[in-house]
A and B are shown apart, each in its own frame.
Chain A
């Protein structure tokens, strides 16, 4: 008897044989036990394969089921964008302006810019006005959207970490640091006569450049002194910065005190509590100064832009002048060749003999803040704050549904999240104090730490609110539904209203903060460990 081979049997089982051959095989297996057995064995193999392949032995990763972000309803984005735009306006009109007013009245008396901003008692009010929770909410909105966007493009956490650190690095070292010479040490000196044919990145308690650097200088230090020649830019984070030599490029310094005595070929950007320029100094380009006080005796060939508490102009300014701040004095030796604008609480003082291209255009800013802060205003503010918190909540719910569910679940266990929240805040505060007090350079890191904490503290209320809403109105179904949003809205409203009650509101606020923070952290923890199995239909 002629048997059929395995191939023919398989094709027969799979319905791939033409009808003539198929019939032939059917007829054959009725007679032939061997071929019939083979057919059966193959059939069983097919069944085994199918069941092995289709069996649901693994859960679907939460990451995938959170992926409905692709299909965010457009109204979410419209809402988010609307709130963001409103907040951006608010931030500009209400935050930036008062900040600089505050800056002038508070003065820059701290040890350095960071600690001054954060810790100087005189500034606390200004700080809370500058970035209050509303604006902060707006920033978080943007951050959530950005993270959501990044997550979609770069899925692996590793990739995100790499990109983020690269970004930080790129920001910290704006110029081609890869090819640069890096020097570390207590004090770094490029002695007179030495020529460095490279960029220089220097970290140390003092950095002195007496020789020549044919490239950029990037310095992180307490004392920076440049008496030599730098052909590129000088970028410095320092406590005191003195530029006495020649810099062909730009000077960009973040420093408590900045003194310019030499020649700068291009522009100067200076952040500091005082920015001074002596009469022999010359800036080929323009100057931007953010400072407590500035005394400009030298020559600035182009424009001057300043947000400065107290400004004194004694030298030449080739372009236009725009200054916002507390006071402006134009000395007799001054020579302003372009139009000048001053925004501040009082008229500028112009000494006799000062040369002006045109009279200084002055805008008197009102004593804002306290007077303007009427009851109606604080109500508007409260409504705004509520709307932003709700928008952030909805966005979280939509963009990170898995995380939202996890954190909400954790909020339900009350005691544990409050404990974890308290622990986290105490640890955070401790780390901050250690970072700031023990390490001088730790201030920046400390502030960065606060910035990392802050979003968590902000979203804390959302989970407590959502939990509260769920308790009152009954558990909402999972996912982004109007029911879930409604519960969150109700809960948040209660929290915000209760927050108005003196003393009790504050205490409850603290409890909510601890509780929600704990829930968020536990949510993160759970998300990193577990995966959810969605109830979506699966292949049969």
Chain B
């Protein structure tokens, strides 16, 4: 079920080339670094664009992330997929920025956190999903509190593991599912606001 949506997608030969490039860049080869940059900058920019509130923030963050990556390249463990490592660096950077800006909104404070989530009606949920376009979802994502949005981006854009998400957001591993589910609920509410149907039918356990 946990299908990788961003497979490195390479045959062994390509993988060897990629690994060699990373090794060269690690050793300080500027050309190899340039190639790495060109290969991954678009993906990292898109990641930042999803995670950060404005396009300009995303551009700045992308640049800063690559500065960091270049500095930290020596710490990269080649047994791990490079892209995943890159996303970890990017996620930490963006989350740091967001946290520093105190973008954690009221919605994320204590009592709301413990509020039970209402059980959705599958049919209505299905209907809501059917009726919404990607663009509407993106617009709704922009309205989410920072942590909820970040959690969804980490999971469904970067395909990050629960462990890594927990480490990035600074929450317990067991809490990641809750954060994700809560984020989905918040998203549904916003999407519903755009449309009209209500999903909640009361808790069935």
Q: Which residues of A contact B (CB under 8 A)?
A: 2-3, 5-7, 10-16, 34, 37-38, 40-42, 44-46, 48-58, 60-61, 63-65, 67-68, 70-74, 152, 155-156, 534, 536-540
The interface bits of chain B over 67-87 (1 if a CB of A lies within 8 angstroms of the residue's CB, else 0) are 100100000000000000000
In the bound assembly, the distance between CA atoms of A70 and B184 in angstroms comes to: 39
B122 touches A7 (CB 8 A): no
A54 touches B66 (CB 8 A): no
Selected from A34, A50, A155, the residue in CB contact (under 8 A) with B156 is A50
The interface bits of chain B over 145-158 (1 if a CB of A lies within 8 angstroms of the residue's CB, else 0) are 00000001101110
At the interface, yes or no: B181 with Cβ under 8 Å from chain A? yes
Selected from B37, B122, B181, the residue in CB contact (under 8 A) with A67 is B37
B205 touches A71 (CB 8 A): no
At the interface, yes or no: B11 with Cβ under 8 Å from chain A? no
For this complex, 30 residue pairs linking A to B, each with C-beta atoms less than 8 Å apart, are: A5-B203, A5-B204, A6-B119, A10-B181, A12-B1, A14-B155, A14-B162, A15-B2, A40-B122, A40-B126, A41-B123, A42-B125, A44-B129, A48-B132, A49-B184, A49-B187, A52-B134, A52-B137, A52-B141, A61-B45, A61-B59, A63-B59, A64-B41, A65-B41, A71-B34, A155-B60, A537-B39, A537-B42, A538-B43, A539-B43
CB distance from A213 to the nearest CB of B (A): 46
In the bound assembly, the distance between CA atoms of A143 and B130 in angstroms comes to: 56
CB distance from A223 to the nearest CB of B (A): 49
B43 touches A3 (CB 8 A): no
B residues in contact with A10, CB < 8 Å: 177, 180-181, 184
B137 touches A16 (CB 8 A): no
B43 touches A73 (CB 8 A): no
B42 touches A54 (CB 8 A): no
A41 touches B119 (CB 8 A): no
In the bound assembly, the distance between CA atoms of A152 and B1 in angstroms comes to: 42
A residues in contact with B33, CB < 8 Å: 70-71
CB distance from A489 to the nearest CB of B (A): 21
A64 touches B45 (CB 8 A): yes
CB distance from A32 to the nearest CB of B (A): 11
* Given contact pairs A14-B155, A52-B135, a sample of 6 additional A-B residue pairs in the complex whose CB atoms are under 8 Å apart: A41-B129, A52-B141, A54-B5, A70-B66, A534-B42, A539-B42
The interface bits of chain B over 98-127 (1 if a CB of A lies within 8 angstroms of the residue's CB, else 0) are 000000000000000000010110110110
Selected from B34, B66, B137, B178, the residue in CB contact (under 8 A) with A49 is B137
CB distance from B197 to the nearest CB of A (A): 13
In the bound assembly, the distance between CA atoms of A49 and B45 in angstroms comes to: 18
For chain B, the count of residues having a C-beta within 8 Å of the partner chain is 59
In the bound assembly, the distance between CA atoms of A539 and B47 in angstroms comes to: 10
B126 touches A536 (CB 8 A): no
A residues in contact with B132, CB < 8 Å: 48
At the interface, yes or no: B9 with Cβ under 8 Å from chain A? yes
- Of A2, A12, A55, A70, the most chain B CB neighbours within 10 A belong to A70
- Of A7, A54, A70, the most chain B CB neighbours within 10 A belong to A54
A interface SS class = helix
At the interface, yes or no: B16 with Cβ under 8 Å from chain A? no
A60 touches B120 (CB 8 A): no
In the bound assembly, the distance between CA atoms of A46 and B184 in angstroms comes to: 9
| B203 closest partner in A (C-beta) | A5
A residues in contact with B62, CB < 8 Å: 64
B122 touches A68 (CB 8 A): no
A57 touches B122 (CB 8 A): no
In the bound assembly, the distance between CA atoms of A52 and B67 in angstroms comes to: 28
Selected from A2, A52, A156, A536, the residue in CB contact (under 8 A) with B38 is A536
Known: A40-B126, A49-B152, A155-B63. A73 touches B42 (CB 8 A): no
At the interface, yes or no: B30 with Cβ under 8 Å from chain A? yes
A residues in contact with B205, CB < 8 Å: 2-3, 5
B9 touches A540 (CB 8 A): yes
Selected from A7, A58, A72, the residue in CB contact (under 8 A) with B181 is A7
B2 touches A538 (CB 8 A): no
| A55 closest partner in B (C-beta) | B134
| A45 closest partner in B (C-beta) | B129
B residues in contact with A15, CB < 8 Å: 1-2
Selected from B31, B37, B123, the residue in CB contact (under 8 A) with A37 is B123
| A74 closest partner in B (C-beta) | B30
A68 touches B37 (CB 8 A): yes
| B62 closest partner in A (C-beta) | A64
A residues in contact with B1, CB < 8 Å: 12-15
CB distance from A425 to the nearest CB of B (A): 34
| A50 closest partner in B (C-beta) | B156
In the bound assembly, the distance between CA atoms of A513 and B181 in angstroms comes to: 63
| B139 closest partner in A (C-beta) | A52
B residues in contact with A16, CB < 8 Å: 162, 177
B5 touches A540 (CB 8 A): yes
Selected from B6, B31, B130, B184, the residue in CB contact (under 8 A) with A539 is B6
In the bound assembly, the distance between CA atoms of A70 and B177 in angstroms comes to: 39
In the bound assembly, the distance between CA atoms of A14 and B205 in angstroms comes to: 20
At the interface, yes or no: B138 with Cβ under 8 Å from chain A? yes
In the bound assembly, the distance between CA atoms of A25 and B57 in angstroms comes to: 43
| B38 closest partner in A (C-beta) | A536
| A12 closest partner in B (C-beta) | B1
Known: A6-B120, A7-B177, A155-B63. A71 touches B5 (CB 8 A): no
In the bound assembly, the distance between CA atoms of A540 and B10 in angstroms comes to: 12
CB distance from B17 to the nearest CB of A (A): 13
